[in-house]
A and B are shown apart, each in its own frame.
Chain A
Amino acid sequence: MSTEKTMTVKILRETRKVSDEVKENLKQFNKDKKSILEALGQGEKTIAQLSEATGMSREKTMFLLMSLIKFGFASAGTVDDMDEYFTYKLKTNEQN
């Protein structure tokens, strides 16, 4: 396989502008992701504990954490004695 690939994205960049909303969402996601992963780095946490540690709402924490699990950054831990809330932890074989 050739090591020199033609980057077609460069061609599209000449005619298409990335919206400010997309740029802002990307920036915010990177910030939120860092915040969640740092909090998890200090130990397993429930959604409520993560929400408190990051300052994000529980709903947003849930959405982002479940997405990070889907993309292989985190995983579910154990459930509490009441079978109500799981803890979450960093995934050790982090790829991304």
Chain B
Amino acid sequence: MQKEPINLSFDALVIGGGIAGGEAALNLANNGYKVILIEKRLSLGGKMIMLSKVFPTLDCSACITTPKVSEISRHPNITIFTESDLTSIEKTGEKNFIAKVTRRPRYVIAEDCTACQLCEQACPVIVKDQFQYNLVGRKAVYIPFSIASPKVAAIDIENCSLCGACEKVCPPGCIDFTQEPREYIIHAQTAIVATGFRLYDPTNVPRYSYGEARNVITSMQMERLLAPTRPFHTILRSSDGKVPDKIAYVLCAGSRDDSMGNPICSQICCMYSIKQAQLLMGALPMADITLYYIDIRAFGKGYDEFYEQAVGMGVRFVKGKVGRITEKENGNLTLRYEDIATGKLKESEHDLVVLSVGVKPNSEPADIFTSHKLELDSLKFVKQSDPLLSPAKTTIEGVFVAGTATGPKDIPDSILSAGAASSEAISYLNQ
């Protein structure tokens, strides 16, 4: 049993191992600074590594993310703590931050695991796979997903039957049920907050019937259905295995609506819905895809052309806000909406509805700063002290912010902001 926390020192502490945190860590490391990257999940890569493709280029998301994550993992100046909780950060002086970190046990000796997955085969337990958004099962001992980094098994101890089958079959003998949480004290000169965002929970809008109607899914679930590492062998309804052929997207599901508790635009739901519609047209050429939207916000480079491409492919765009989704006996859905073009209330039937969910803040980082207050804006995103001239600065000197922690952003903007945060951090370190 560990008696004393382990003390470690770094130049920079990066909180969050998504694409923005990873990029910021890499920039610092490439400039010779020693960085520790803290990630609460089992793998680096954040939400981006779970996506099918990216807009507007339709590049494979995993193909972009995996080399980047691999570079971060192999960099000699970067130390990575996954499955770790940062419980507090105290600023004790100029360029002096002290963070307390707990590393949760994986019950697997990471250095010895070869990712052979024999443990998974032997495990008799099945639970919902959170990395596939509960569409399929996983074992109690599992590799989070095929391109996880680190690609190391972990045991979900809450669901483990303690049968020991994994331990019996593991060739290098790396299963270790005696592992316990390990406490660390991290000393760093600067910190970058890259804690990302949360997806809007559509159960907050009962009229969309998410969680009630069997064939209403979220856009993230559709991402998984479209990804090469998809949960099913093709795109199917999870309620009955039907190949859908009349699919509706409800844009701004949990965005731009005070009544839903989220007045802001997600900045991504138009474009990812258009992307998914194009991918669906490729996967299901006979399918009828309709997007119900308020406005199409195609603001980035190549985005409007991407929208026009979808129109050209036959994706149907209906300007109108969906008021209610009801389920029919056969599992199909009736959408009641206001058609802005005609000014009439209409209904249409679809066999699968995708809610293009919005972006909500992750307000967790505010609670971990103990000696100084990391201020949030009115929407609970991390407040930028100088949003125009130094957008990476927070209300604590020496603490910078990257990615969607400050508000909704697409991937290129997240990467750009990570560049800004790492540059500001380097300037601060050189002062």
Contacts and interface: CB of A to CB of B under 8 A. Distances in A.
Given A23-B161, A29-B126, A62-B238, A76 B233 contact: yes
A71 B231 CA distance: 11
B173 A12 contact: no
Given A11-B177, A59-B240, A63-B238, A70 B161 contact: no
Nearest to B163: A9
Nearest to A11: B178
Contacts of B243: 79, 83-86
B166 to A, nearest CB: 8
A79 B286 CA distance: 15
Given A8-B167, A64-B137, A70 B231 contact: yes
Interface string A43-81: 000111000000000110011111101111001100100
A9 B286 CA distance: 53
B176 interface: yes
B124 A22 contact: no
Interface in B367-397: none
B178 A25 contact: no
B160 A22 contact: yes
Contacts of A13: 162
A62 B137 contact: no
Contacts of A75: 233
A12 B178 contact: yes
B168 interface: yes
A1 B159 CA distance: 30
B136 interface: yes
Contact of A18 (B161, B173, B231): B161
A23 B233 CA distance: 30
B175 interface: yes
A30 B124 contact: yes
Given A12-B178, A63-B137, A29 B162 contact: no
Contacts of B286: 83
B167 A47 contact: no
Nearest to B134: A63
B316 interface: no
B242 interface: yes
Given A26-B124, A29-B125, A5 B137 contact: no
B135 interface: yes
B314 interface: no
A71 B121 contact: yes
A12 B162 contact: yes
Nearest to A30: B124
A95 interface: yes
B428 interface: no
Interface in B206-250: 214, 231-234, 236, 238-243, 245
Contact of B125 (A25, A58, A70, A76): A25
Nearest to B164: A9
Contact of A9 (B125, B158, B162): B162
A31 interface: no
A5 B238 contact: no
B176 A8 contact: yes
A69 B233 contact: yes
Contact of A22 (B125, B137, B167, B239): B125
Contacts of B6: none
A96 B137 contact: no
A11 B138 CA distance: 25
A57 to B, nearest CB: 9
A44 B299 CA distance: 49
Contacts of B416: none
A5 B157 CA distance: 21
B127 interface: yes
A7 B167 CA distance: 7
Contacts of B175: 8-9
29 contacts: A1-B173, A5-B168, A10-B164, A12-B162, A12-B177, A13-B162, A16-B162, A22-B158, A22-B160, A22-B161, A25-B125, A25-B159, A29-B125, A29-B126, A58-B239, A58-B241, A59-B239, A59-B240, A62-B241, A66-B136, A66-B231, A69-B233, A75-B233, A76-B233, A76-B234, A86-B236, A86-B243, A95-B121, A96-B121
Given A12-B177, A70-B137, 14 more contacts: A8-B175, A9-B163, A10-B164, A12-B178, A22-B160, A25-B126, A47-B240, A59-B238, A59-B239, A62-B241, A63-B136, A66-B232, A71-B121, A83-B286
